[in-house]
């Protein structure tokens, strides 16, 4: 079992979790891809390759070449930009013996569109943030609102709207915006892991106590039947496979979903530390082993407080291999 983790970048804790899962098996390596040789995960992985950006027409071909050369059994895409593109090529990955650890392409397309996500959930009876596109905002909408790109990640371009003047400005300033009701209650992420049939295997709610640049900096796990029930509702309305994270805030005493990301969350180290080892679960699924439900089996009220760490290396090590297709003859 060799694993390919794409767009590894700063995801060193996730990378190390996969390495630990393979050590428990006694075999296997973790290979990563990136476009930047200075990315820290590049220098922690067993091997690393340079690939084009995910929007490049040759992106999937580059991943498939690496799968063949490295005998990859499990491919783990990590960023929203690539999920639909990679999922569309699922059969091509299976043809080279690689299991693709992501939800269906239609799920990725739905979740990448924050307006469609909330409209879909509301239509299926799931509490979701009231959302409008430009031109749909009613005259009696609240003064305080929230605006962000309809397609985007990491909190980039997200702004609090406090009055109509600001709304007018940011509707012009934010590219392809969606406007949502302002939810001022505490913010939560629900990490959920589903099997290949879309059945939830593990659900871990977390409070996002402090967030920096869209990623949790300090937080804690929660024992919350309400949030677990919400995650089950979401899973019943959208087909998932593997990791997914559901973001919500409270409207009074009701948790309201405002975004879903069908991938590993930035706060996944806390979930893993709490005993819900999603990477190890994913490896077992890829090996064809059934996973019994472990919902509720995690350490509640476990806190994470994060800090920066560095990887120090000489300049000559700032390089990434680029596969030469001619070198693959006989490699697989």
Question: pLDDT at position 107, please?
Answer: 98
Helix H or strand E segment including 232: helix 225-237
Segment 220-238, tens digit of pLDDT: 999 999 999 999 999 999 9
Question: pLDDT at position 152, please?
Answer: 83
Question: pLDDT at position 319, please?
Answer: 72
Residue with tokens 């909408």: 141
- Answer for the pair 6, 78: CB distance below 8 angstroms, yes or no: yes
- Report percent pLDDT > 90 for the chain: 86
Does the pLDDT value for residue 31 go beyond 60?
Answer: yes
| Of residues 198, 191, 190, 282, the one with CA closest to residue 239 | 198
Fold classified for 2-102+311-328: Rossmann fold (3.40.50)
Segment 281-301, tens digit of pLDDT: 999 999 999 999 999 999 999
Does the pLDDT value for residue 153 go beyond 90?
Answer: no
Question: pLDDT at position 327, please?
Answer: 41
Domain spans, the chain: 2-102+311-328, 130-181
Strands 99-100 and 159-161: unpaired
- Find the DSSP H helices in 2-113: 12-25, 59-70, 80-87, 90-95, 105-112
| Cα separation, 221 vs 207, whole angstroms | 6
Strands 177-181 and 145-149: antiparallel
DSSP at 43: G
- Written as six digits, the tokens of 250 are 């409270």
DSSP at 256: E
Question: pLDDT at position 313, please?
Answer: 86
Question: pLDDT at position 279, please?
Answer: 98
What architecture is the 130-181 domain classified under in CATH? 2-Layer Sandwich (3.30)
Q: What is the pTM of this model?
A: 0.92
pLDDT band for position 314 (cuts 50, 70, 90) = confident
Buried b (16+ CB within 10 A) or exposed e, 236-246: eebebbbbbbb
| Of residues 273, 283, 260, the one with CA closest to residue 306 | 273
- Answer for the pair 267, 207: CB distance below 8 angstroms, yes or no: no
**22-26, 164-168, 207-211, 271-275: which range is least confident on average?**
207-211
**88-97, 114-123, 284-293, 310-319: which range is least confident on average?**
310-319
Mean pLDDT of 139-152: 94
pLDDT band for position 323 (cuts 50, 70, 90) = low
Does the pLDDT value for residue 328 go beyond 60?
Answer: no
- Written as six digits, the tokens of 77 are 């895409």
* Distance from the Cα of residue 32 to its chain's centroid: 16
Mean pLDDT of 36-51: 94
């Amino acid at each position: 079992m060799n694993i390919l983790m794409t767009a590894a970048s700063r995801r060193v804790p996730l990378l190390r979790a996969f390495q630990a899962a393979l050590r428990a098996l006694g075999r296997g390596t973790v290979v990563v891809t990136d476009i930047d040789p200075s990315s820290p995960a590049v220098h922690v992985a067993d091997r690393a390759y340079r690939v084009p950006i995910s929007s490049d027409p040759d992106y999937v071909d580059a991943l498939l070449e690496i799968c063949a050369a490295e005998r990859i059994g499990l491919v783990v895409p990590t960023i929203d930009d690539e999920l639909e593109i990679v999922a569309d090529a699922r059969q091509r990955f299976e043809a080279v013996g690689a299991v693709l650890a992501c939800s269906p392409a239609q799920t990725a397309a739905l979740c990448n569109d924050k307006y469609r996500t909330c409209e879909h959930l509301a239509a299926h009876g799931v509490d979701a943030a009231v959302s409008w596109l430009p031109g749909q905002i009613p005259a009696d909408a609240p003064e305080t609102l929230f605006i962000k790109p309809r397609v985007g990640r990491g909190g980039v371009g997200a702004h609090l709207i406090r009055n109509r003047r600001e709304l007018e400005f940011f509707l012009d300033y934010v590219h392809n915006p969606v406007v949502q009701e302002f939810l001022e209650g505490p913010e939560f992420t629900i990490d959920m892991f589903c099997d290949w049939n879309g059945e939830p295997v593990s659900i871990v709610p977390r409070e996002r106590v402090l967030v920096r640049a869209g990623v949790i900096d300090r937080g804690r796990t929660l024992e919350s039947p309400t949030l677990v029930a919400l995650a089950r509702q979401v899973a019943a309305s959208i087909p998932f496979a593997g990791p997914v994270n559901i973001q919500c805030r409270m409207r009074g005493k009701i948790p309201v979903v405002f975004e879903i990301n069908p991938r590993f969350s930035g706060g996944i180290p806390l979930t893993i530390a709490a005993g819900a080892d999603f990477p190890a679960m994913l490896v077992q699924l890829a090996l064809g082993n059934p996973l019994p439900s472990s919902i509720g089996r995690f350490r509640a009220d476990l806190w994470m407080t994060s800090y920066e760490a560095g990887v120090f290396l000489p300049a000559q090590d700032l390089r990434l291999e680029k596969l030469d297709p001619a070198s693959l003859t006989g490699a697989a």
